[in-house]
Every structure is written in structure tokens, then in C-alpha cells.
């Protein structure tokens, strides 16, 4: 351990009013970024600070969130002992089910985000904030990269930089993205890591395409970087990690430079494979039964509504206003209607369309599934915002028309920020989850390192995370008790079933 973040986490958690101090810091950084918008590096750095200022108080909750953070946290903690073998129930009793909520070997998600959580726990201590720190840092990096998407797509001038600024601000302050990075929303850290890596990979892919178009010497290096980041994204969330490769494929100048485009795409595919394939081959050879089970289960997402996550074909489209602001559909419709805005942005179009089409066709629906497209959506909103604002200033026929247009532009920013405040919930803390986590921490101090068996607890996953003992969320069977005694385990029946625990 190098630096224990637990005191900082407790300071924030014990003083909920600190939320307002961090909100003020975020406003200061956003204003500084706006003042520095003509200096891309400085503006991008300030926008990254906005993401951290908003994310830290959300990530300071002193308990694990039930879906799905507690599972990811337990696997990450177990990875510290055996980095190549991801386990959920580290010492199971009897036959361990293949069900991802109670299995032994855990292949439900690829391991990169879990490795990052494990590394952060080793460096920054046992507090929950340490587990969330990699997602927060990557979210900040995504804001930095998103600020450069505007100039890359729309030209490195005042308009392009303005688009990049607003896109990065909207991404940094997006309530759903902050909820994912802080573990509050299902699919949490894997999706937060996926979105951040895809943002950076998408920037590298678009930059490589522009360099190839201009005969730049850096195009090969950028294509390799995009491929490596895609491989990392695949190691985070499987096939959605290929998104940036698709962006590169459609953005390359195939008509003008066919051979060079083919070489760059091949280089990106090979570098992606070099990163992702070793783990995929290792997992399938080392854990063939578990890998086969998870492969079949992943495919079932497209044909069956698993775990009750059902919805019609318009499920994800109807959630766009809630995730990006109620006026976002107007911006998207205008963006696609105005063909001038699409010049040079075929990659951006694919970035948005492909995830929403694929996950709209899948039978299993969850809010975060298509959000690998979030950076593209924010850039589209920012492009329309800047276009409308400039039109209001230059072309409005009256002062009233100009004012109305500017107010409408403000809704592209204010409505998503309002949603962020709703997700942030300043001054609100989940007392039940917090008290339960406190009970498990006290139990861990009383029990010692184990191994042993804890029987009939309300949240066995969190109990195993905090105590390092095997836990059951039900009474133990006679066979399980006999096996535990044969192993020499102590068996504990804690009184944690009362309300509020």
C-alpha cells in the first residue's frame, strides 16, 4: 500500500455538505476551461478536473452498491491473491454453480476493469473509494480525449474547439457516466472503463484517418494505438470493445488511399488481437466449462430477456432524453438532417448508430448497454449547440428571436446537468446499505482472517468481500456444515437480519 484513501473517503462520507464544495470546484474548473477554450491542452485538463470533482463525492459511499459493484469488488479483491484466476466464491462448499452470482471461477466479464480495481486496492488501501478510483481517472481521461474530438472532426478552429469543449463538458458531467464510474448503476466499472477506453481509442482512430488523408507520418503509430486500446476495451466488455475499430474502418480514406487504408486497418486489427487474444485463449483452455457456459449465456442476451431485463425495440431510443437531456432528440435529428454537419464524420455516425442498432435488436435490455456510443452523442449535441448559438448571434432577425434561440441552446446543457444532480443526490446517503457494510466490517474485526463459514446473512457477496470468509445467504445444509467442519472451519451465525442491517 502506498497511499491509503480511506481517511479521505470517510471525510467526504461523514460530511455530506462537502458535496457542495466539490460542486463549486467543478463550476470553477468548468469556467476555467471555458476561459482557456482556445488553448486545447489547458481546456482539456480543466474539463478532466470537472469530471474528478463531480465523481469523487459520488464515489465516497462507504459501502458496496448491490448491482453490480459488490460482485466486481469481490472478484477484484480475490484477484490480488491469484491474478490469472478470477473467482467470486473463492472457497466454495460442494459444487459451485455456473450462475455468475454464485459461481467459483468468474468469467462473466473480461478481467481488465477488475485487474485495475485490484491494483488500485493494493496501492490505495481497502476502502471502497480505492476500488472506484480507476473508473474515475479513466472518466477524467475520457473528458480530456473528448475535448479533442471536436477539432479532429470539425477542424482545429474556434468552432471545432468550441464543439470539443461542450462535448467534453457534457461527457464529464453526464449523470449516467458518473453513476457508472462511482459504482451506483448496474454494470458500473466495466462499462465506465469501456466507454473511457473507446473514447480515447476513437480519438486515435479518427486522428489516424486524418493523418492518412494528409499523408501524415504518424498514421501507423496512431492506428496501432487505436488497436491496442480496442484490445483493452475487448478485455473489459467483450465485443462492444471493437467499436473504435469500426470507427477507423469507415473513417479511413479508402477511395484516395486504398492501400494505405488497408495497411492501417490491418495494423489496428493485429495490435487489438495481440492484446485481447492471449487472455481469451488462456481462459478457454484453463476454464473450458466456465468459458463455454459464459459464451452461451452471452449469446442468449440476443434471443432471451435474461434476468427480467426486457424491453421493446425502442427501449434504448426512448431513454436517450433521460440520459442526455430532453432536447437531445432535437439535436440528433438536426445533426442527421443537416448533411453539412456530416462531412468528414462517417466514423462519428457509425459510433452512434451501431451500438444503438445492435442493442435495440437484442432481447435483453439494460440502460448502459449502448452507452459505448456516449462520446459520439455528446459530440453531436455539442455540434448542434455551437451551430445554433452561432446562428442566433449572426442570423436572428430580432432581439427576441436571438434570445429564444440562445435559451433553447442553454437547454442542451442545463437539462443534462439537472439529471446529473438527480443522480448525484447531494446530502442523501443510503443508511441501510451503509449500516450493513459497517456491520460486516465490525464482524471482520471480530472474526479474524479465517477461513470459515458465515451462515444466513442478508448479503453474502458483501460479507465475503469484507470478511474474507465464505458466506451463505441462507441456512447451511447438513452436507455443507459437514464439509466446513471437515476443513476445520469455524462456523458463525451472525445476527445481521434485523432491519437496517
Residues in contact with 394: Cβ distance below 8 Å, sequence separation at least 6, in sequence order: none
Q: At what angle do helices 158-172 and 399-424 cross, to 10 degrees?
A: 30
Q: Beta-carbon neighbour count of residue 484 at 10 Å?
A: 21
- Answer whether the bond into residue 451 is a cis peptide, omega within 30°: yes
Q: What are phi and psi of 164, to 5 degrees?
A: -60, -40
DSSP state of 477: P
Residues in contact with 80: Cβ distance below 8 Å, sequence separation at least 6, in sequence order: 118, 121, 122
Give yes or no for a contact between 378 and 324, defined as CB atoms under 8 angstroms apart. Answer: yes
Residues in contact with 426: Cβ distance below 8 Å, sequence separation at least 6, in sequence order: 16, 19, 20, 23, 57
pLDDT in the model for residue 244? 96
Return d(Cα 19, Cα 287) in angstroms, integer: 45
pLDDT in the model for residue 500? 39
Q: Beta-carbon neighbour count of residue 397 at 10 Å?
A: 7
Q: What are phi and psi of 105, to 5 degrees?
A: -75, 125
Q: If we measure between CA atoms, which residue out of 235, 238, 229, 240 comes closest to residue 268?
A: 229
Q: What are phi and psi of 454, to 5 degrees?
A: -110, 130
pLDDT in the model for residue 402? 84
Specify which residues 470 forms β-bridges with: 453
Residue 122 grid coordinates: 493494493
Return d(Cα 21, Cα 442) in angstroms, integer: 31
DSSP H helical ranges for 182-257:
188-213, 219-237, 243-251
User: Strand order of the sheet with strand 452-454?
Assistant: 470-471, 452-454, 490-492
pLDDT in the model for residue 312? 93
Give yes or no for a contact between 202 and 347, defined as CB atoms under 8 angstroms apart. Answer: yes
Give, for all 501 residues of the chain, the pLDDT tens digit: 678 899 999 889 888 778 889 989 999 999 999 888 778 889 899 999 999 999 999 999 999 998 899 999 999 999 999 999 999 999 999 877 899 999 999 999 999 999 999 999 999 999 999 999 999 999 999 999 999 999 999 988 888 999 999 999 999 999 999 999 999 999 999 999 999 999 999 999 999 999 998 877 899 999 999 999 999 999 999 999 999 999 999 999 998 899 999 999 999 999 999 999 999 999 999 999 999 999 999 999 999 999 889 999 999 999 999 999 999 999 999 998 886 655 557 889 999 999 999 999 999 999 999 999 999 999 999 999 999 888 887 776 678 888 888 899 999 999 999 999 888 776 566 677 888 899 999 999 999 888 999 999 989 999 999 999 999 999 999 999 999 999 999 999 876 654 334
Give yes or no for a contact between 302 and 362, defined as CB atoms under 8 angstroms apart. Answer: yes
> What one-character-per-residue DSSP string does 108-172 give?
SS-SHHHHHHHHHHHHH-SSHHHHHHHHHHHHHHHHHHHHHHHHHHH-SSHHHHHHHHHHHHHHH
Return d(Cα 393, Cα 390) in angstroms, integer: 5
Q: pTM to 2 decimals?
A: 0.95
CA within 13 Å, CB half, 138:
32
Give yes or no for a contact between 385 and 413, defined as CB atoms under 8 angstroms apart. Answer: yes
Give yes or no for a contact between 200 and 192, defined as CB atoms under 8 angstroms apart. Answer: no
SS3 210: helix
Q: At what angle do helices 460-467 and 69-79 cross, to 10 degrees?
A: 30
Q: Beta-carbon neighbour count of residue 345 at 10 Å?
A: 23
Q: Beta-carbon neighbour count of residue 341 at 10 Å?
A: 18
**Every domain of the chain and the residues it spans:** 204-286, 431-492
Return d(Cα 51, Cα 174) in angstroms, integer: 9
Give yes or no for a contact between 20 and 426, defined as CB atoms under 8 angstroms apart. Answer: yes
Task: Indicate the burial class of 434 (C-beta count within 10 angstroms; 0-12, 13-18, 19 or more).
Answer: middle
pLDDT in the model for residue 368? 93
pLDDT in the model for residue 501? 40
DSSP H helical ranges for 287-345:
288-303, 315-318, 320-324, 328-337
Specify which residues 492 forms β-bridges with: 454
Return d(Cα 303, Cα 471) in angstroms, integer: 34
Amino acid at each position: 500500500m502506498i497511499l491509503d484513501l480511506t481517511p479521505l473517503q470517510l471525510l467526504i462520507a461523514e460530511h455530506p455538505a462537502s458535496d457542495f464544495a466539490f460542486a463549486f470546484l467543478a463550476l470553477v474548473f468548468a469556467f476555467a476551461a471555458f476561459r482557456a477554450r482556445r488553448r486545447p491542452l489547458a481546456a482539456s485538463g480543466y474539463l478532466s478536473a470537472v469530471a474528478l470533482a463531480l465523481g469523487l463525492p459520488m464515489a465516497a459511499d462507504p459501502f458496496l452498491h448491490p448491482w453490480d459493484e459488490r460482485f466486481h469488488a469481490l472478484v477484484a479483491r480475490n484477484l490480488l491473491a491469484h491474478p490469472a484466476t478470477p473467482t467470486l466464491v473463492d472457497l466454495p462448499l460442494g459444487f459451485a454453480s455456473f450462475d455468475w452470482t454464485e459461481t467459483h471461477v468468474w468469467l462473466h466479464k473480461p478481467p481488465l476493469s477488475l485487474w485495475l480495481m485490484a491494483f488500485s486496492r493494493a496501492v490505495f488501501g481497502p476502502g471502497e473509494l480505492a476500488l472506484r478510483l480507476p473508473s474515475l481517472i479513466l472518466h477524467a481521461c475520457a473528458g480530456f480525449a473528448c475535448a479533442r474530438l471536436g477539432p479532429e472532426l470539425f477542424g482545429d478552429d474556434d468552432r471545432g474547439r468550441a464543439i470539443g469543449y461542450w462535448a467534453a463538458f457534457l461527457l464529464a458531467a453526464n449523470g449516467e457516466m458518473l453513476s457508472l464510474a462511482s459504482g451506483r448503476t448496474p454494470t458500473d466499472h466495466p462499462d465506465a472503463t469501456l466507454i473511457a477506453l473507446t473514447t480515447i481509442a476513437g480519438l486515435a482512430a479518427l486522428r489516424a484517418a486524418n493523418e492518412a488523408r494528409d499523408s501524415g507520418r504518424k498514421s501507423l503509430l496512431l492506428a496501432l494505438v487505436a488497436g491496442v486500446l480496442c484490445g483493452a476495451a475487448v478485455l473489459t466488455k467483450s465485443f462492444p470493445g471493437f467499436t473504435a475499430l469500426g470507427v477507423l474502418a469507415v473513417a479511413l480514406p479508402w477511395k484516395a488511399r486504398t492501400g494505405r487504408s488497408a495497411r492501417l486497418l490491418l495494423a489496428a486489427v493485429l495490435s487489438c488481437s495481440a492484446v485481447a487474444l492471449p487472455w481469451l485463449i488462456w481462459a478457454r483452455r484453463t476454464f473450458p466449462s466456465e468459458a463455454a457456459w459464459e459464451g452461451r449465456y452471452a449469446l442468449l442476451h440476443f434471443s432471451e430477456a435474461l434476468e427480467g431485463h426486457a424491453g421493446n425495440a425502442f427501449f434504448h431510443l426512448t431513454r436517450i432524453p433521460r440520459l442526455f437531456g430532453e432536447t437531445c432528440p432535437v439535436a440528433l435529428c438536426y445533426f442527421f438532417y443537416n448533411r453539412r454537419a456530416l462531412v468528414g464524420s462517417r466514423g462519428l455516425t457509425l459510433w452512434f448508430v451501431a451500438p444503438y442498432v445492435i442493442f435495440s435488436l437484442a432481447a435483453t435490455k439494460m440502460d448502459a448497454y449502448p452507452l459505448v456510443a456516449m462520446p459520439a452523442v455528446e459530440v453531436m449535441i455539442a455540434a448542434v449547440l455551437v451551430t445554433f448559438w452561432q446562428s442566433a448571434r449572426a442570423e436572428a432577425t430580432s432581439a427576441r428571436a436571438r434570445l429564444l434561440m440562445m435559451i433553447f441552446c442553454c437547454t442542451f446543457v442545463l437539462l443534462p446537468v439537472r439529471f446529473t444532480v438527480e443522480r448525484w443526490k447531494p446530502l442523501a446517503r443510503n443508511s441501510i446499505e451503509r449500516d450493513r457494510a459497517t456491520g460486516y466490517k465490525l464482524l471482520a474485526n471480530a472474526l479474524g482472517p479465517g477461513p470459515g463459514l458465515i451462515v444466513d446473512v442478508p448479503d453474502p457477496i458483501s460479507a465475503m468481500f469484507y470478511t474474507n470468509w465464505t458466506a451463505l445467504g441462507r441456512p447451511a445444509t447438513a452436507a455443507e456444515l459437514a464439509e466446513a467442519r471437515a476443513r476445520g472451519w469455524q462456523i458463525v451465525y451472525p445476527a445481521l437480519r434485523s432491519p437496517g442491517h
